[in-house]
Amino acid sequence: MSLTAFVSKQNFTTKNAMASRTMQELLKVRKQTIRDSFSLSENDEHRLENVLKINGVQYINDSKAVNVNATYYALESMEHQTVWIVGGLDKGNDYHSLLPLVREKVKAIICLGEHNFKLLETFENVVEYIIETTDLDEAVQFAYRLSEKGDSVLLSPACASHDQFEDYQERGWLFKRAVRNL
């Protein structure tokens, strides 16, 4: 069975898989061990996890994206117009590298958290709709109203979760619960 059978379609996973594969070959790791490692990471919870499709809109949990680089790859993998839920505890992030992807793929931004100044400053003139909220349920409700059939709603915060949540996992679980309650 080939390596490509075990890696997902997202570019970030492919790049990570290729680097991992190279290291495993250099260290003479058995091929079956390599195959097993790819199959385990293929469907990580909170990493580009498809939650539900509602009225033709795919809701995606990427709560594990706690930095700009992880969110870059999440946005890069979006194939449809996206309502992006972003924000949390900003640790000096520079969001400018996301501008080309936001211009191309994001139709609305929902800033989740109390300190959204840098997000607003970076993206306010890039998308038609940019909304602030401190409540995840409300963020999901806004995303529901702003999305249309064929769109995606992506929770990919680019920030740590500790301003409102215990960790990224709790944020992801609460996102999934909010989506299921739509």
Mean pLDDT value across the chain: 85
Q: Which residue has the higher pLDDT, 14 or 99?
A: 99
3-state SS, residue 126: coil
Q: What is the pLDDT of residue 33?
A: 52
Q: What is the pLDDT of residue 46?
A: 86
- Four-CA torsion 144, 149, 155, 158, nearest 10 degrees: -120
- The answer regarding whether domain 49-180 maps to CATH 3.90.190.20 reads yes
How is residue 1 annotated by DSSP? Answer: -
Look up the pTM and report it: 0.78
Residue extents of the structural domains in the chain: 3-41, 49-180
Token pair 């499709």 is at which residue? 53
Q: Which residue has the higher pLDDT, 86 or 13?
A: 86
pLDDT greater than 70 at residue 23: no
Q: For 60-83, how does the pLDDT look when each residue is reduced to its tens digit (9 = 90+)?
A: 999 999 999 999 999 999 999 999
3-state SS, residue 93: coil
